[in-house]
Chains A and B, each alone.
Chain A
Amino acid sequence: MPRESLKTLSEPMYYVLLSLTNERCGIEIMDKVKELSGGRVSIGPGTLYTMLSKFEDNGIIKGASVIPKRKNYIITDHGIEVLKEEYERIARLAEDGREIMEELK
C-alpha cells in the first residue's frame, strides 16, 4: 500500500483515534465511535479496516494483542501528537468563529 500522509483527519478518523486511546478491537471501536458522537457518526467494518491499516502504515496506531479472530489496536506516541494537533485545530476553528457567531445571535 502506498504511503499516504495524513494532513487533516476526517471526522470518522478523529473519532477512531479518540477511541483508540484505550486498547480496543474492531467492533469495540465501532461501538465507541457511535457512543462518543452520540450516534451521529457510525463507521462500517470495511471502512474501518481500510482506515486502521492506513493508520498502522503511518505509525499512528499499532497492533497490541491478537486474540483469535480479533486484533486489538492502540494509539502510538506519534498518534497522540497527531490527535492533539487535530484537537487544537478544531478548537481553533470554533474559537475563530466565536465572535461572529455571537454577533449573529
Chain B
Amino acid sequence: MHVLPKTDVRLWRNLNERENFKKLMTFRYTDLKAVCEYLEEMAAKGWELKSMRTFMEFRKAEPRKVRYSAELLETASVYGNFVSDDSREYIDMCEQAGWEFVCNTGKMYIFRMEDENAIEIVSDNEEKLKDIKRGTLKTYFLSWFVLPVIILLDIALNVFSIGSPVEASYLRIFGMMLCLLVVIISIIQIISFFYGIKRRKKQWIMICSFHTLIKNN
C-alpha cells in the first residue's frame, strides 16, 4: 500500500466526492521511473492523468491496471508545452505501437498502455539513461553552472570593493552569504546528479527520488 505524504492524506478524505484532483508536480527529469510508478498507483485507485504542468491533474475513472511510460524527448523544448513537428512524429510512432500519448510538460512526455506484454518505448536502458543525462543537463545548465559563476564573480567584486569599514554593512555581508548558499546548493545538486548517474550505471535503479523514499520507509 502506498503511504501518501501528509498533504495528500488531507486531500484524500473528501476525494470520493470529487471529479478532479490536482497535485503539485514535484517530479524532476531524473524521476522518470518514479513518475510512472506513481501514475500507475493512481490509475489503480481510479484516477486517470489528464494534464501535467505546474500541477498534475487527475480525472476520476474506473480503477484499472495500466502501464505508464515517461520519456524525455530530445526534440522537445524545456520551456513550454508546445509539441513540435519532430515530437509529433515521435508520438505518432509510439501510437502506432499502441502507446497512447497523454500529456507533456517540457521535455517529459507521458504515454499510457494497457497491454502488459507490449514493448517499452525505449527498449534500451543505456539509451534511457543517456536521455536522462542529456535532458537534465540541458535543463539545469543555467541554474547549475552559469548562475553560480555569476554569483561568485559578484561576491568577488563585493569583497574587493569593500575598502573602508563604512561600506561593509551587515546587510551586504548577509546578502553575500545568501548568494553563497545558492552556489553551495548548486554544487550539491551537481554532485548528487552525477553520483546518481554513476550508481545507476552499475545497477539499473532509476528510482532515487523522494517519492520512493517515502514509499519504502
Contacts and interface: CB of A to CB of B under 8 A. Distances in A.
Is chain B found bound to chain A in the same assembly?
yes
B127 interface: yes
B127 A43 contact: no
Interface stretch (A25-33, A77-85, A89-97): A25-33
Contacts of B119: 30, 42-45
Interface in B122-167: 122-124, 127
Contacts of B74: 1, 50
B93 A45 contact: yes
Contacts of A26: 92-93, 96-97
B99 A47 contact: no
Contact of B96 (A12, A45, A47, A53): A45
A18 interface: no
Interface residues of B, number: 19
A53 B92 CA distance: 14
A48 B122 CA distance: 8
Interface in A36-67: 42-50, 53
A42 B90 contact: no
B96 A27 contact: yes
A44 B90 contact: no
B33 to A, nearest CB: 15
A70 B96 contact: yes
B71 interface: yes
Interface in B76-118: 86, 89-90, 92-97, 99
B92 A70 contact: yes
A63 B119 CA distance: 25
A71 interface: yes
A3 interface: no
Which among B96, B99, B127 has the greatest number of chain A C-beta atoms within 10 A?
A: B96
Contact of B123 (A25, A42, A53, A71): A42
A26 B124 CA distance: 17
B56 interface: no
A49 B127 contact: no
A44 B92 contact: no
Contacts of A7: none
Contact of B99 (A12, A45, A48, A50): A45
B132 to A, nearest CB: 13
B90 A25 contact: no
Contacts of B86: 53
A49 B92 CA distance: 10
Contacts of B96: 25-27, 45, 69-70
26 contacts: A12-B124, A25-B96, A26-B93, A26-B97, A27-B93, A27-B97, A30-B97, A42-B119, A43-B119, A44-B120, A44-B121, A45-B90, A45-B119, A46-B93, A46-B121, A46-B122, A46-B123, A47-B121, A47-B122, A47-B123, A47-B124, A49-B90, A50-B127, A69-B96, A70-B96, A71-B92
Given A45-B121, A49-B90, 7 more contacts: A43-B119, A44-B119, A45-B99, A46-B71, A47-B123, A47-B124, A71-B92
